Structures are given as structure tokens and as C-alpha cells.
Amino acid sequence: MDPTQHPQTNYGVPPSLPSGTASFPPPRPKRRVWATLAVLLLLLMLGGSLLLNLALIGTGASLGGEPRIQERHFSHERLAENKVAILHVEGTLLEGHGYVKRQIDQALKDDAVKAVVVRIDSPGGTVSASDFIYHYLHKLGKEKNIPIVVSMGAIAASGGYYVAMAVGPTPDTIFAEPTTWTGSIGVIIPHYDASALLAEWGVKQDSIVSHPLKGMGSFTRAMTDEERKILQGLVDESFAEFKSIIREGRPKFQKDPQALDRLATGQVYTARQAKENGLVDRIGYLEDAVDRAIQLTGLGADQVHVVEYKREFSLVDFLLGSQARGRAFDPAALVELAVPRAYYLWTWLPPAITSAVPRGRE
């Protein structure tokens, strides 16, 4: 049988048109591709703008300037008028520590704050940065006449321990977690002698200076005896100040300064060792420090709202993620590696990368 006589049995294959039948070309697709793409792009832009604005409004993010401090509920009664504020001192303490200062200022201007818990997780930092934070925390307690309690995290060493002395002589105010490392009481001015290596490369120190001591501490040549004596004097004076601050915060060492001398070797101690030697008061967690702060206010637990200070969510956080800001490299720190600087820091190498946030953004 001729299959052309029965096109319906051709298994879906369209039959050939009979001869003489007029054929028409298929309709041309309408040329609206670019218009469609433009509309889609506009919708995406509008949608993205809407989402961004909602995110900024919902989080209180600012497009510029310094990020402000937000209060977040931590524990106890949300509706209570009295507050205990948890402040954070974290990372390597370098110049440009505005974030810690803004937390202190927030607590200072808030009349509802009746006590402060300082959460420290830091290996220390420069002498000046450590002393700056200590000074303003101590001032906060004095001006508001409120108790300060310290809660140590993973590490509160050297300058981190220095900051903890802001609690003053009030007993049972320094808490260390069971796994905390603390102590490292001492001062270091890092110095590296790369003169032999530079000589192999044919690099020669040829600076023009007003006095030979102007280039003191340079890594391009060996340190002279005179330079070493001068720098040692700077270290000794900063070290004496460190121990003086400890004696103010730990009355035990006022009666027995030799005990502090035996501990102030730069050694790091576990929480248990620190407690046995009188460097901390109790082994406990942040919640224990909060309970002690409430006890010192004389208020009941149901009369206090415990709040935690956090950085305000920023546009950088929204676009790049909250961790991007904390991992930025600070080019200015490269220059500072060549600057003789004293550190209350548990390390053998001065930091080239800021620990918490880049300068100008803390």
C-alpha cells in the first residue's frame, strides 16, 4: 500500500504537500530580544535596590562614617530599666582602637547602665593602646561609680591582662574560663638584625641622620651597646608601669611585691595557675561574671536587663560579608615594622595585620 495515500499512518511525519498547493514561509520571530533584556535588567536593578534598602533599614546600617554601637539582649529581664552592659575588647590592641572607646562612651552616657562586664579575648598589643583602653575603662567606673567585672575568653595576656586591671581592688571581679591563658606580664621591643643578609645582596645602610641615635633600632645594622642600653631603659620603665597597674588592681601584690616579680617573667599561665597565684579571682564563664556584676549593683536578677554591645551592621558587611572587614590588610603597618615600639604583647613578631578591623573603621 502506498503510504502517501494514508498520511495519518505515517507515524507523525507530516506528508508532503500535494502538487500545486501554495506554501507560505514560517512567520518571522518578533525582534524584541534587546527590549526584553532591558526590561529584565531594569527589574533586577529595582529589585536589588529594594532589597538593599530593606536590609539597610532593617539593620540600621549606615552608608558611611564610623559604625555605631548596637545593644542586643543577652539575658535577664528585657523590660527592666536597669542595665548591665557587656563590652568587648578583642584581638591585638593597636593604635586606632575607636571601637572599644565607643563602647565605653555608650555605657558612660547611658544612665540605665549600673555595671559593666568587660569581655577580654586579646594577646595584648602596644603599650599605648593597652594603657588607653585601661584608662578609659577605669575612668568609666570612677565617673559613673559603677562596678566593673572582667570575663576572660581564650586569651587575656600581656596588654589584655593590663586592661583587666580596670576592675580596681574590688574582690572577685576577674573571671577566667577553664581554658583561658593569661599573664605574659612583660614588655618587648622587637628588633631584627638583617645586616648580614643585606650585605650578601649588596645593600648598604646609607641614611642621612641628624645624630647617630636617630637610626636607633634599624634592622639594617647591628645594634650598638649604647642603643641597647637606651632601649632597655624604655622597656624597664614600661615594665615598672605595668607592675604598678597590677598592684593597684590586685591588692595582694601591694603587700607582697616580690610575689609579683616572680610571676612577671613573660610566662603565660593557665586559668588554674593564674588563680593559684592570685592573678585572677575565679574560674567561670561570662554568665558567672554577669551574675557577679548584678550582685555588686545590689539589684535583684529580675530588675536587670543584660545587654551586649555589638558593631552596627554596615554596607560593607552586607556586600562582602561580616568577616571581610576583619581580615583586611593594613598597608601602613608595613612601615611600622621598622619603627621601634614597645608592646605589652604575647608574641615574638609585631603584627602587620590589624586584628579586629582596619584602622579608621574600628
158 is catalytic: yes
Catalytic residue (one of 158, 218, 238, 314)? 158
Q: 322: closest CA among 67, 102, 106?
A: 67
Alpha carbon distance 316, 82 (integer Å): 33
What backbone phi and psi angles, to 5 degrees, belong to 105?
-60, -40
User: 289 to each of 130, 157, 169, 211, 280, how far by Cα in Å?
Assistant: 22, 18, 16, 53, 12
- CB within 8 Å of 247: residues ≥ 6 apart: 253, 254, 257, 260
Task: Give 150's strand partners.
Answer: 118, 174
**Number of neighbours of residue 228 by Cβ within 10 angstroms:** 14
255 is catalytic: no
Catalytic residue (one of 142, 214, 229, 322)? 214
Q: 125: closest CA among 184, 63, 198?
A: 184
Alpha carbon distance 221, 330 (integer Å): 26
User: What are the residue numbers of the active site?
Assistant: 158, 214
